[in-house]
Structure 1
């Protein structure tokens, strides 16, 4: 059945949750379940299989975590894990595990995240001591199963979270093998932002008469997503770093994530922002887990206010203080845009999503608007006058707060002698001037305004002929040569899995794939080509290292 849910004002007490879980939610400040939670929790508590479709940021984690914790409480005392949660990335594994610890503190839930990049010895010791729920990436879960260190015989529930992302990253075989290793009478829940045919096939094979919970667009955008203010600025490529700095100066975010396409771009932009006086750090797949954790902890603690990240590194990111998301480049797919802006505007907090658009990317912005059904306001870049006015506003607000809250008596000895010599109003003006100069200078150079291509020009480009099998010349794609092919057992999913696992790209970023007997050709965005080449040369495909380079074109 399809349930299009909306808010009815009922609280968590109406969903059938144990008192300990309800008390934990109250302590965390949750008052009302989100639509996906209201629709999913009751059937999961009844033991039904379930398929849930909803956008990122709608509360999916609690929708499956709370029923699993109730299952643990009802079956207390069992030795092995009784629930397995599969997630696409290590960041999401940590996030889900931390959420379950918070919700299940009063019932003593033992939740263990296992993922690559962490010493396996630590995971082995924790598994041997006993756990209730394992939250794992498919690759590391399969590794433990093969070692005999993860026993699935006692599993009564399995959750596939962000199933579409796991398939895009090439984990289809691992997921199939893991599900086949669990008891046939287990309960299974699958959550996904999109429902491509491959997901439907998995549902048919592994779920039994599932309840289908599909939030319509209105329901899935209420609450968190509706609180995200979305805007865009059209900027020439060469002026994007300066434009970003100016927008950040105007917005003054408490904490922000700036998304870039490649690792190199992340590193370059981070250096540029720090050179402008911003406090920024990089976050991408080229960093080890300890480095990435350190960056996230500094953002949470307020030591830094900007993280420049790739999509892969930021998957599963959930920072309570986050106020702004900035797309330094227009995402290549509407789903990526939705995942990015889902990082802000959660739990009733307002958020802002800003996109910097090159003139040639204006059509991509329109396609995102059509896919999301939400208008993105195109605004003019802040001028020097705008920045000065904004800085004065901030100074005025700071002065007002200080007058209301601070103990200023100790400064009277500075002001009184000056007032004998000068007018009090003039003294205040001089103090404001010094405060402005202390906060830094305003860039005096006006940035050029850029307009999107006229509609008739866009129409001509749409009508120009091109080969339907490749997007290389028309949309910034290029083809890479991979020195392994059909004779080595290479399949398209192997290439997709290698690229998404080792680089910053997602499956949606990858274009056409051609596999010959001894080699393969795969399309990737031109801007990410060198990054992908370096990453794949370090990796193995079907257990072997292979040649990777740009395709060499023979003149005709």
Structure 2
């Protein structure tokens, strides 16, 4: 069943939510529900299962959190959870848990986030004391279920949030195993930014006659510009930092997220941008929560205007003043592109999505266009002349604002003294020159070479098997830049490649696509990870379990051949 509602619901009170929730929403400054909240909350309050396609930032957290809290009837003081929310990453687990706390404060809702990288003892104590809502990554939830510390007998609702991300990270079998442990009469909610066949398969197996809703892409009338303007630039890798600087200078974003693939790339690019005079902050999985909070505080207060981040670290963030999203590399999957650009153009605000593609990544842009059904125009990188014109325009705008708003009377004596010797136009030109140079508007030293792109016919003429490089997207065994790890568990322990992918992607900053070759032997396994992430992966695997068991994890010791 597909639900099509009208816009008659203009306030949260129209949704017949309990007074405690309405009071909490009012205190948070929420005036009216978003479209997805208007469509999702009524059927969820009626007890219907729901399958929703919704991008990040559409308000889907409140769309499922409010119905969960509406059903709360038990007081604190023991008891098993009545709701379980599964999310792909620890970052999103924290974000969703905080949202539940905000909405359910007056109800005394006991919410517990469960994820890797956090002392398990604290989680065990909280579960023993009793919780109402558990927000968990699949791997850690299954770990607690196996220990018998997370019991789902009283569960009334299960929410799968960002289900496509969980499948991409190798959690499909974990999700199936968790759902098998839940009561048959539970209410099930599934949200996903994209709807690949695997998502529909989960829906058919585990949702009962669900209401289907689709949100995310804003529709525009013929002749109107879309809310998210998408563009791309094809740039040689060596010139990407300079190209990014020029694009940012021309676009002048109020606030922007620049997405990078790795933690090292985030750190290097942040340093480069700060060296060029931008106020950039890094955000990646190697940072603690306190450091992360400081970064987000600087961005929200305007102390910083650029956030350079990995996908995992930025997952779940909602930055109201965000105007631009930049893909410093072409995302390895169209779904990642959809997630990223969904962070701008929200709630009627215009946004810009920019992608910097290397020549070899041009074909991946075409794949993204086919999946999103939206053309991504390829533009020329701004030239030095373009940059000079833009910087002069910014100087002119600053002077115009000063003439309208500033008290300039105390400078009159300087101008009058100079006009005794020089023409007033010459005085004005000198003043503009000083203002322009004081703004830090230095010229780049060289032009960025323009890349000649092959047409699709020329590509076909090269007779290279399409997608040879994209098909796997990871180095072969022993590839440069990768470290091979030894894991002391293999086939005899029931270990499969997807178990290792899920354990690593669920507990670290890596995604499934970052992980290289995997070899499973009878009593051990070998798995390749990027050099820069090897220590982190070793630490998180040593602190967690694989198939419910602890395993030795270390760098492989190479033997002489």
Normalised to the residue count of structure 2, the TM-score between the two structures is 0.83
Deviations 1:357-403 (A, max 9, x none): 11121110011011001111211111112112211222222233333
Structure 2 match to 1:491: 496
Residue 62 of structure 1: how far off its partner (Å): 1.9
CA contact (8 A) 1:169 1:496 kept: yes
Q: 1:308 to 1:220 in 2, by over 3 A?
A: closer
Residue 175 of structure 1: how far off its partner (Å): 3.8
- Work out the CA distance in 2 between the residues paired with 1:482 and 1:505: 15
Structure 1 match to 2:218: 222
Unaligned runs of 5+ in 2: 479-483
Residue 424 of structure 1: how far off its partner (Å): 4.3
Q: 1:465 to 1:448 in 2, by over 3 A?
A: closer
Q: 1:300 to 1:48 in 2, by over 3 A?
A: same
- Work out the CA distance in 2 between the residues paired with 1:301 and 1:418: 41
Q: 1:503 to 1:182 in 2, by over 3 A?
A: closer
1:355 partner SS: strand
CA contact (8 A) 1:471 1:477 kept: no
Residue 230 of structure 1: how far off its partner (Å): 0.9
Deviations 1:297-354 (A, max 9, x none): 3222322222222112211122222221111110110001011111222222222111
Structure 2 match to 1:269: 269
Q: 1:139 to 1:475 in 2, by over 3 A?
A: closer
Structure 1 match to 2:476: 478
Residue 460 of structure 1: how far off its partner (Å): 3.5
Q: 1:244 to 1:157 in 2, by over 3 A?
A: same
CA contact (8 A) 2:139 2:503 kept: no
Deviations 1:159-217 (A, max 9, x none): 2211222233344455445445544433221222234455445445544x2423142xx
Structure 1 match to 2:318: 318
- Work out the CA distance in 2 between the residues paired with 1:439 and 1:410: 22
1:354 partner SS: strand
- Work out the CA distance in 2 between the residues paired with 1:474 and 1:551: 26
- Work out the CA distance in 1 between the residues paired with 2:142 and 2:474: 36
CA contact (8 A) 1:323 1:352 kept: yes
Structure 2 match to 1:253: 253
- Work out the CA distance in 2 between the residues paired with 1:313 and 1:129: 31
1:90 aligns with 2:99: no
CA contact (8 A) 1:266 1:308 kept: yes
1:96 partner SS: helix
Q: 1:192 to 1:436 in 2, by over 3 A?
A: same
Structure 1 match to 2:481: none
Structure 2 match to 1:309: 309
CA contact (8 A) 1:48 1:187 kept: yes
Structure 1 match to 2:374: 374
1:248 partner SS: helix
CA RMSD of aligned residues (A): 3.7
CA contact (8 A) 2:236 2:451 kept: yes
Unaligned runs of 5+ in 1: none
Residue 413 of structure 1: how far off its partner (Å): 5.0
CA contact (8 A) 1:323 1:344 kept: yes
Residue 500 of structure 1: how far off its partner (Å): 1.9
Structure 1 match to 2:10: 11
Residue 252 of structure 1: how far off its partner (Å): 1.9
1:24-173 equivalences under 5 Å are: 25=25, 33-72=33-72, 75=73, 77=75, 79=77, 80=79, 81-104=81-104, 109-119=109-119, 132-142=132-142, 152-172=152-172
1:113 partner SS: strand
Structure 1 match to 2:512: 507
Higher mean alpha-carbon deviation, 286-295 vs 491-500, is at 286-295
1:544 aligns with 2:551: yes
1:478 partner SS: coil
1:369 partner SS: helix
Residue 32 of structure 1: how far off its partner (Å): 5.3
- Work out the CA distance in 1 between the residues paired with 2:155 and 2:412: 70
Structure 2 match to 1:351: 351
Deviations 1:484-532 (A, max 9, x none): 642453202112114424654423566886645467677x8xxx74346
- Work out the CA distance in 1 between the residues paired with 2:458 and 2:536: 38
Structure 1 match to 2:235: 235
Structure 1 match to 2:211: 212
Structure 2 match to 1:335: 335
CA contact (8 A) 1:483 1:518 kept: no
Q: 1:324 to 1:45 in 2, by over 3 A?
A: same
CA contact (8 A) 1:472 1:478 kept: no
- Work out the CA distance in 1 between the residues paired with 2:59 and 2:420: 62
- Work out the CA distance in 2 between the residues paired with 1:33 and 1:312: 28
Q: 1:452 to 1:513 in 2, by over 3 A?
A: farther
